[in-house]
Structures are given as C-alpha cells and as structure tokens.
Structure 1
Amino acid sequence: MDSTDLLMQIFQYVLGVVPGDVAGNIISIATVIVTICTLIIRFWKEPQKENKLHKLWQIFHLLASFKKSDKVVKEKDNVDKVG
C-alpha cells in the first residue's frame, strides 16, 4: 500500500469522526499552512547544506509539497547505491 493512500484513508476517517464545523476549521488551517509554505519555498532560494537555515527550508518544503526535496532524495539514493 502506498503511503499517500494510507494518509488519505486516515484523513478521511478523522474527518468522518470529527464534527463538520471542526473538520472545516482543520481543513482551513491546513490549507493556510500549505499555502504559506508554498509561497515561502517559491521565493526563498534553497540555502547551502552547511547553512543553519537549510533544515528550516527543508521543513517548509516538506509542508508545502508533502515530500522531501528532490536533491535530498537523489543524494540518499546515490548513497544507497554506492554503499
């Protein structure tokens, strides 16, 4: 099973259990967080890996796209192939 399918199933279950007005508020807050993180990632160039702000940038990228940045994934794949 794909992790996104599991995440969607959990999300649908939680929304079914939670009252409608609370579920609407949760969705609104999640939408605002994703939108703000997307704007930050759009205009903030990725810092160098040695920079302390790189970890913060990765968190924003994760919240904006729900996946690790492509560079991080590629480097991890390369390490797995070499090691």
Structure 2
Amino acid sequence: MKVKYILNGREYEVEAESGRTLLDVALIARLNPPYSCMEGNCGTCEALIEQGFTSENKEVSRVVRTCQAVPSSEFVIVNYDKSPTQ
C-alpha cells in the first residue's frame, strides 16, 4: 500500500509495510514528522486523513494519532499541515 504525506508544505509518497503505523512508515522514510510519546496520549503526532482509511479514523473525525493508526486501504493521504496541533 502507498501513503502520501503532506508535511511542511511538501508531499512525499511512500510504500507502507503491512501492519506498520503511519508514524512508523514516516520515520522509516526519514520524513521527520512531529511526535513525542508514541503511545497515543500526547496528540503531538495528530494528522488529518484526507483520503483512505486507517484503523483509527472514524466517519465523524478524520483526525488520527499517527502513532496508533495503521493504513487499512491501498492508498492513504496523511496531512500533518492541517492537523489540529499545527
């Protein structure tokens, strides 16, 4: 599956290994996304899911904590620039 990240005004498209969180995929690709606790508590890694689905996004809220969210569709767009913490 593929994940497109929007981070600091730039776009990056990355192959995601099955079972990895969105944060893990971004860190492996050395994108330097925002994060802190890696446990889903602090909210530093929150991002907006613009397309696709993850284990965490609900119909009401498309904002996820990327340290907990695993892609569940073949293509996901993750926008850190439009997250509530930005």
Q: TM-score, normalised by structure 1?
A: 0.23
Q: Which has the higher contact order (CA 8 A, sep 6+)?
A: 2
The structure where strand makes up a greater share of residues is 2
Q: Going by fraction, where is helix more abundant, 1 or 2?
A: 1
TM-score (norm 2): 0.23
